Amino acid sequence: MKEFRHFINGEYTASVNGKTFENRSPVDNSLIGMVHEAGQIEVDAAVKAAKQALKGPWGRMTAAQRTALLNKVADRINERFDEFLHAECLDTGKPHSIACHIDIPRGAANFKAFSETLSNHPTEGFRLDTPDGKGALNVGHRTPKGVIAVISPWNLPLLLMTWKVGPALACGNTVVVKPSEETPATTTLLGEVMNECGVPAGVFNVVHGFGPQSAGEFLTTHPLVDAITFTGETRTGEAIMKAASVGLRNISLECGGKNPGIVFADCDLEKAVEGTMRSAFVNCGQVCLGTERVYVERPIYDAFLKRMKEEVAKLKLGRPEDPEANFGPLVSLEHRDKVISYYQLAVEEGATVEIGGGIPDMGVDLNNGAWVEPTIWTGLKDDARVINEEIFGPCCHIRPFDTEEEVIALANDTHYGLAAAIWTENSAKAVRVAEQMETGLVWINSWFLRDLRTAFGGAKQSGIGREGGVHGLEFYTELKNICIKL
C-alpha cells in the first residue's frame, strides 16, 4: 500500500505521532494508500527549514541560476510524465486523455514560463530634481518575500500547485505546500524531482493534512510564514484572510465562481456548443472557471439546448485509463453528496431536468465510486439557490434572454466575479459586453484559453489579487525603493 509522507528539508518524513488518514480512489472507493497528517511539530519543522534555506545556497543564487534549476525541474517532470499522470489520475479519477493534455504538461510548464518572465522583467527608475541642482536617482529593487505558504485545492492538483510554486521559487522565495487532503500524490512526487534536480534542501517543503485544526490552519497561522497564496473555496479564503491578519502577512486568494456563459443569436452555433460543453463538463465540472449559468438569446435557444443535450448524451463515462472515456467521477463521495444535494434542490426549486440529474449505473465494479450524471436544467427562477451558489459539478442551467442589457444584468447578478464566456461573431458587441462583465477574466469565442503572461484572478468574492506573468512580482517580491542622492 502507498504511503504519502511529508517532504521537509529535502527528506520524506513520517508524522511524529504516527497519525495518518486514508486516501481513497473516487473511481471505485478502493484504498489507494495512507497519508501522514501533519500537526504543529511537522509544520513548524517545515517552516523553519524553509526559513533556513533562504540563508543557504538558494539565497545566494542569481536569477539566472534559479531559472536554469527551475527549467530542469520542468524537464524532469516531463521525463517522468507517466508517473505524474498515473498518480494524478489515481487521486482524482480524471481520464488520462484529459490529464495528459492539461494537468501534467501545464503543471510542468509553470516552472518554465514564470522563471523566464519574472527574471527578465525590468525594474522602475525615476530621476528626481533637487534644490541643489544635482538631483537624485530612484531605483526599484525587488527581494524575495521569504517563506510562502501555498494552500492548494484538489481539482487540478499539480497544475494549480506549480502555478504558485513556480513563480514563488523564480522570485527566490522558499515554499511550504499544503496540498488538498484529497490529492496528495503529485505534490509528494515533486519532492523527488526537486532532489533529483539539485534544488537545495528546505526550498520546497510539503506538509499533508486537512484545513481547520490541522496542517492548513497550523501553516497559515505560523508566525514565520511571510505570505500566503491560496486557491479554494471563498469561505476558506475568508478563514485564511483572518489568519493572515495576525502579523499583517500578505495574501493572494483565488476562490470560487458561478460563471456565466452568454450565447448571442449571431454566434457560430457549433463553436458555442463545443465551448460551452467544455466549460460546463470538462473535469466533471470541477473547474473554478466553469460555466454553471448559460444565457442564450431567444431566437437560437431551442436549437442550442437541443445540440447541448445531444452532446451531453455522447459523453463517455469510464475509468481513467479507458482511452474512449472523457468523463470521470467527482473527486470524492463527500463531494458527490454535495453535488447530488443540488441535483435534488434543483427539482425542489422547480427545474426541468433536460438530461441527467442522478447517479449513473456504472456496474458492480464502479458503483461504489463518486459518479454522477452530467446534467442540464431549464426553467429555474433567477433567485433559485441552484443559480446562485457554486455547485462545482457537471451541471448547468440554460435560460433564454431577449436583450443585451438584460443579459449583462443577469450575468453580473452574483457575489462571484471570476470568469465569463461570450459567444458572438459581432466583435464590437463582444467587447462592449466584455467590458461590462464584473469579472477578472472574460473569454470571447473561447474558454480556458490561457496565456501564462496575462493577469489571472477574480473580482468580488472570487478572490483578491492577480497572479500570472509579471503580476506575480507584486505578490512574490518586496519592492524596495533605493534613493541615490547625486
Mark the segment that binds ligand NAD (CB under 6 A) among 28-36, 48-56, 248-256, 322-330: 248-256
Asked whether the beta carbons of 12 and 5 are under 8 A apart, the reply is yes
Q: Which residue in 294, 262, 304, 295 sits closest to 401, CA to CA?
A: 295
CB burial readout 36-71, b (16+ within 10 A) else e: bbbbeebbbbbbbbbbbbbeeebeebeeeebbebbe
Residue 258 sits in the site that holds ligand NAD (CB under 6 A)? no
Residue 442 sits in the site that holds ligand NAD (CB under 6 A)? no
Residue 194 sits in the site that holds ligand NAD (CB under 6 A)? no
Q: Measured at CB, which residue is nearest to ligand NAD?
A: 211
Residue 256 sits in the site that holds ligand NAD (CB under 6 A)? yes
Closest CB to ligand NAD among residues 117, 234? 234
Mark the segment that binds ligand NAD (CB under 6 A) among 18-26, 147-155, 406-414, 474-482: 147-155
Asked whether the beta carbons of 324 and 293 are under 8 A apart, the reply is no
Binding residue for ligand NAD (CB under 6 A) from 28, 37, 103, 217? 217
Residue 458 sits in the site that holds ligand NAD (CB under 6 A)? yes
Pairing of strands 227-231, 147-151: parallel
Closest CB to ligand NAD among residues 297, 467? 467
Q: 482: which 3 cell numbers? A: 533605493
Residue 88 sits in the site that holds ligand NAD (CB under 6 A)? no
* 345 membership: H or E segment, kind and range: helix 333-348
Residue 251 sits in the site that holds ligand NAD (CB under 6 A)? no
Residue type, 237: G
Residue 236 sits in the site that holds ligand NAD (CB under 6 A)? yes
Mark the segment that binds ligand NAD (CB under 6 A) among 44-52, 65-73, 89-97, 173-181: 173-181
Active site residue 254: yes
Binding residue for ligand NAD (CB under 6 A) from 12, 21, 81, 210? 210
Percent helix, strand, coil in the chain, to 5, is 40, 25, 40
Mark the segment that binds ligand NAD (CB under 6 A) among 55-63, 192-200, 226-234, 446-454: 226-234
Q: 291: which 3 cell numbers? A: 460555466
Whole-number minimum distance, CB 335 to ligand NAD, in Å? 7
Alpha-carbon 46 to chain mean position: 23
Q: Which residue in 204, 205, 207, 218 sits closest to 184, CA to CA?
A: 207
Q: Which residue in 289, 288, 257, 258 sits closest to 275, CA to CA?
A: 289
* Catalytic choice (37, 88, 182, 254): 254
Binding residue for ligand NAD (CB under 6 A) from 93, 167, 191, 211? 211
Binding residue for ligand NAD (CB under 6 A) from 35, 53, 206, 288? 288
Mark the segment that binds ligand NAD (CB under 6 A) among 69-77, 152-160, 349-357, 430-438: 152-160
Asked whether the beta carbons of 208 and 178 are under 8 A apart, the reply is yes
Which residues contact residue 237 at a Cβ distance below 8 angstroms, ignoring those fewer than 6 apart? 230, 253, 255, 463, 464
Residue 114 sits in the site that holds ligand NAD (CB under 6 A)? no
Binding residue for ligand NAD (CB under 6 A) from 5, 6, 80, 178? 178
| Angle separating helix axes 185-197 and 63-79, nearest 10 degrees | 120
> Looking at the annotation, which residues are catalytic?
254
Contacts with ligand NAD, residue ranges (CB under 6 A)? 151-155, 160, 178, 180-181, 210-212, 216-217, 220, 231-233, 236, 239-240, 254-257, 288, 390, 392, 418, 458, 462-463
